[in-house]
Amino acid sequence: MASAAAFLAFSLFALHLCCCHGQAADAGNGVTAIYSLGDSITDTGNLVKEAPPGMFETIKHLPYGVTFGYPTGRCSDGLLMIDFLAQDLGLPFLNPYLGKNKSFDHGVNFAVAGATAMDPADQFNRSIPVPFVANSLKVQLRWFKDFMKSSFATDGEIRKRLQNSLVLVGEIGGNDYNYAFFGNKEINEVEKLIPGVVRTIIDATKEVLEMGANRVIVPGNFPIGCVPGYLTMKAGSSEPSDYDSSGCLRELNLFAAKHNSRLQRAVADLKAAYPNASVAYADYFNSFLALLQNASSLGFDAASTRKACCGAGGGDYNFDRRRMCGAEGATACAEPSTYVSWDGIHMTQAAYRAMSSLIYHGRYLEPQILNFPEKYGQT
């Protein structure tokens, strides 16, 4: 088993890694609330409320939030995809479920940075250290149910509320694999987790649909072989043939693609089982690759697409797990908007904005179940 010190270092690393009838024409109209479950890609402040003093301090302070103006608990320099989606639907930003004295009139964010899809007790054993963050998808789903029951008097009222809501189940599952990889598991071993992770996501989605949700989006995983943190970890053991034309690690991207392929098939089965709901798959994998391929035209520095804006270590990736963004010795670049990666694991506000545009206003939401109010348009 890894030492406690090593595990703490990776916990920080993994944290940073960390619907109408059928496809009716008005499927995306009338969304008055968003409910979101997931991990650090979506967390708008739950982890910083949950973590004890001293844990994960970096995201509580600048330079996290520097573009926004102050730290918000988001793992970025500014806003996330969920924020841009809310804006485009004419809704306020989602407040974190664990926030005090916050308005939940237009939805709630249950996502927690570092969270796994599967319960740690179900997945981890003595060869894989249990992560600090225990707020798995099961826990978040319980929060969601508790919130709805405490906010509405009957199941009928809950169903009525969900008729005018959008529910995002994910992105989640990436940390299940991250912790396993850190436990020195080979890719062929980690692949054995894919069926369980996908089943957990689909089972949660079924429960949401049974509650009355009729607009549900299930995102896939990113091409993790393009992430500076992983590129740094593998740099010493990789050969030139291990990289594709974009400079990403083929094997890790193939792994992520296997997860996504299985998840897409399961989402297709869900759509068939719930024909009166609009269920869509958000293709984070191919939209991210499209961002990389069109980086210059989207306003990014093509030479820095695999380099962290905030970090230490320089080189091709500017990532050092011992001196991550916010730690002593790490610095932030002057123009985050020209970088895709913020801290070597998470993306910049500019990249999240581009991703949101590609997915929700482009061709990477399959099928397109949202129509956006004209007066708000695209952010």
Task: State residue 377's pLDDT score.
Answer: 60
* Per-residue pLDDT tens over the stretch 70-87: 999 999 999 999 999 999
Q: CA of 176: how far to CAs of 13, 132, 167, 347, in Å?
A: 13, 13, 22, 20
Run of H or E residues at 160: helix 155-163
Listed residue (78, 165, 107) closest to 353, CA to CA:
78
* Assigned token pair, 308: 């962290």
Strand runs labelled E in 247-366:
278-282, 310-311, 331-332, 365-366
Residue 303 within a domain: no
Structural domain boundaries enclosing 66: 4-220+247-282
Residue 375 within a domain: no
Task: State residue 379's pLDDT score.
Answer: 66
Residue 134 within a domain: yes
Task: State residue 13's pLDDT score.
Answer: 53
If one compares 314 and 132, the residue with the highest pLDDT of the two is 314
CB-side neighbour CA atoms (13 Å) of 124: 26
Residue 122 within a domain: yes
* Per-residue pLDDT tens over the stretch 283-320: 999 999 999 999 999 999 999 999 999 999 889 999 99
Task: State residue 1's pLDDT score.
Answer: 44
Spatial CB neighbours of 237, under 8 Å, sequence gap ≥ 6: none
Residue 372 within a domain: no
> What does the alpha-carbon distance between residue 101 and residue 90 come to, in Å, rounded to a whole number?
22
Q: Report the residue count for the chain.
A: 379
Task: State residue 55's pLDDT score.
Answer: 67
Catalytic positions are 40, 343, 346
At position 374, the amino acid (one-letter code) is E
Q: Can you tell me whether residue 37 is helix, strand or coil?
A: strand
* Assigned token pair, 192: 């054995």
Domain total of the chain: 1
Q: 10-27 burial string, b = 16+ CB within 10 Å, else e?
A: bbbbbbbbbbbeeeeeeb
Residue 368 within a domain: no
Task: State residue 271's pLDDT score.
Answer: 97
Task: State residue 8's pLDDT score.
Answer: 40
Q: What is the CATH number of the domain that holds 70?
A: 3.40.50
* Per-residue pLDDT tens over the stretch 141-189: 999 999 999 999 999 999 999 999 999 999 999 999 988 887 778 999 9
Q: Mean pLDDT, the chain, as a whole number?
A: 89
Task: State residue 201's pLDDT score.
Answer: 98
Residue 184 within a domain: yes
Residue 363 within a domain: no
Q: CA of 282: how far to CAs of 77, 146, 263, 361, in Å?
A: 23, 27, 11, 12
Radius of gyration (Cα) for the chain, nearest Å? 19
